[in-house]
């Protein structure tokens, strides 16, 4: 296989097949891949703001922070945050977060990064 996109797809698929027994390996790989893709299309994430909506255990938040981004995790289910959520995690429904778009899924073009300030909704609870 010489096509890097097929190799990448296979690696991600193999990792996801083991998501239940090894979530750390699976989601760490997915987070690195996502950050790589964002940087490939939008340049370095260092000093940019990343909003991780529905980020569960914070693997994506941690990866973007490792690369120098200001990353913020919003997760509606406390149980998904795990025993050690990233500092500054917020328990909140992503559909209730103030944004310039109508909903978190209607951003155009698709984006991991938004650089506008976020107001703290009254239903949000800060963790960590």
The total number of residues shown for the chain amounts to 128
- Residue 43 maps to a domain: yes
Task: Give pLDDT tens digits for 9-60.
Answer: 899 899 989 999 998 999 999 999 989 988 888 889 999 888 888 888 899 9
Please state, as a whole number, how many other Cβ atoms lie within 10 Å of the Cβ of residue 104: 17
Residues β-bridged to residue 126? 90
- Residue 110 maps to a domain: no
* Domain around 61: 17-97
Number of domains within the chain: 1
Q: How far apart are CA 81 and CA 89, in angstroms?
A: 8
- Residue 54 maps to a domain: yes
> Are 86 and 72 in contact, with CB atoms under 8 Å apart?
no
Taking the model in full, what pTM does it have?
A: 0.72
The structure tokens listed for 90 are 């917020």
Reference 56, options 36, 33, 26, 35; nearest CA is: 26
Task: Give pLDDT tens digits for 102-120.
Answer: 555 444 333 443 333 344 4
């Amino acid at each position: 296989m010489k096509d890097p996109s097929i190799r990448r797809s296979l690696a991600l698929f193999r990792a996801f097949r083991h998501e239940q027994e090894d979530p750390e390996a699976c989601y760490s790989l997915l987070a690195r891949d996502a950050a790589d893709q964002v940087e490939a299309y939008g340049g370095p994430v260092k000093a940019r703001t990343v909003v991780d909506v529905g980020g569960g255990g914070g693997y994506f938040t941690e990866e973007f922070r490792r690369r120098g981004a200001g990353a913020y995790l919003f997760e509606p289910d406390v149980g998904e945050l795990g025993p050690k959520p990233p500092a500054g995690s917020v328990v909140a429904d992503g559909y209730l977060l103030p944004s310039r778009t109508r909903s978190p899924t209607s951003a155009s073009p698709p984006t991991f990064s938004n650089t506008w300030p976020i107001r703290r909704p009254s239903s949000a609870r800060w963790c960590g």
